[in-house]
Amino acid sequence: MLKKECSNCKTNKDLSDFYYSLTHKNHVSQCKVCYRKKSCEKNLNKFKICKQCKLKLKNTNFLKNRNTYKLICFECNKSNINNNEKFCSKCKTKKSLNEFRFKKWGYLKKHSQCKLCEAIYKKGRNCYKERAKTKIARFKRQYNITEKIFIDKINELNQKCEICNVYYSELHVDHCHKNNKFRSLLCPFCNRGLGNFQDNLELIEKGLLYLIEYEDLKRKIKVKEKQYTYKSKEYKKNIKLKSHYNINLEQYYEILKYCNNKCGICGSKDKRLVIDHYHEVGYIRGILCDNCNLGIGNFCDSFKVFQGAINYLKKYNNKFLQEK
C-alpha cells in the first residue's frame, strides 16, 4: 500500500486516509481527520444573528441541524421550551406549541412553520382564482387579449374547440406565429396539430389527400425474410418492426424504395422518416417525417378534423389580410 505524510499531524498514513482532489488530480496534503477538524473550527468561529433575541453570536451557541445551524440560540430555545412556546421559521414570531402541527420526528415533534403560515402557503398554491389571474395576465402580455375578450370567446364557442367541435375544460389560445395575433381557442390536440404542419394550408391539404388515397403497403409488398445474426442491429430492428407493424426488415426497405425515401406529405428527405400506420386496423399507409406523422396523430386520422383545420386557417388568413 502507498503511504503519505500528513502536513498537519506529521504521521505516515495510507492513501485511503486522504481525500482525493478532482481539480488538482492528486490527494490532499492533510489526512481526513485533520481536514475535518480544520473545517469544523472554521465553522465554529463564524458568527450568526439569532432571529429571536437579535444578538450576534458564534455558531457554537446554535443547535446544528444536519449541515446548517438553527435560527435560534440555545438560551432562546430553552426559554421557549419552558414556556411551551416555539419560534415560527416563516413569520419569525414566538407562538404556543398548540399553534404548530404534530410531526412524527424532531426535537419537539412539531413542524417548523405555524398552522396559519402553512394555510396561507397552501391557499396561494391551490387557489384557482389566483392561477386564472396569472394566466390572463400572461395572455395580455403575449397576445394582447383582455379578460373580457377571453371570456366572450369561451361563451361564443360554448367551451368547444373551433376545429373539432369537442368540449374541453381547458382550451388553449391559438395565435398566428408571423404577426403574433390571437386567432381563437382550440383543444390541445388541434393546436399541436397546426403547429406540426407549421400553419401551412398546402401541407394540411396534402395530408387530407394522403389519408384519402392511402393503400395498405403491407399486403402489396411481400418479401422473404432473411436470417440475421443474434443480437446484431438488423436482428433487433427486425424484431421491433415485427412487434409494432408485423413486417420484416426486407419489407421495410422495399416500402422505403416504394416511397422514394421521402415524406409522403411534405416530400422532405433530410428529416427523420417514420412508418405511418392506421392505428385501428394496423394497415401501413407509408413513410412520413416526424412532424407530419405527429400532425396526423393530433388530428386523430379524421377527415372531418382535417377539413375543419383547412376552413379555420382560410377564415383567419382572410381576416388578417382584410385588417391590413
> pLDDT value at position 141?
80
* 218 and 290 co-located in one domain: yes
Q: What is the pLDDT of residues 307-322, one digit of tens each?
A: 999 999 888 888 776 6
* 82 and 40 co-located in one domain: no
Structural domain of 67: 51-123
Rounded CA-CA distance 213/217 in Å is 12
The 10 Å Cβ neighbour count of residue 3 is 10
* Closest C-alpha among 285, 278, 319, 321 to residue 301: 278
Strands 94-96 and 85-87: antiparallel
Rounded CA-CA distance 170/149 in Å is 16
* 278 and 211 co-located in one domain: yes
The domain tally of the chain equals 4
Q: What is the pLDDT of residues 177-200, one digit of tens each?
A: 888 888 899 999 999 999 889 888
* 179 and 211 co-located in one domain: no
* 211 and 307 co-located in one domain: yes
* 210 and 307 co-located in one domain: yes
* 117 and 168 co-located in one domain: no
Residue 184: give its domain's CATH number: 3.40.1800.10
What average pLDDT does this structure show over 282-296? 88
* 215 and 289 co-located in one domain: yes
* 213 and 300 co-located in one domain: yes
> pLDDT value at position 189?
92
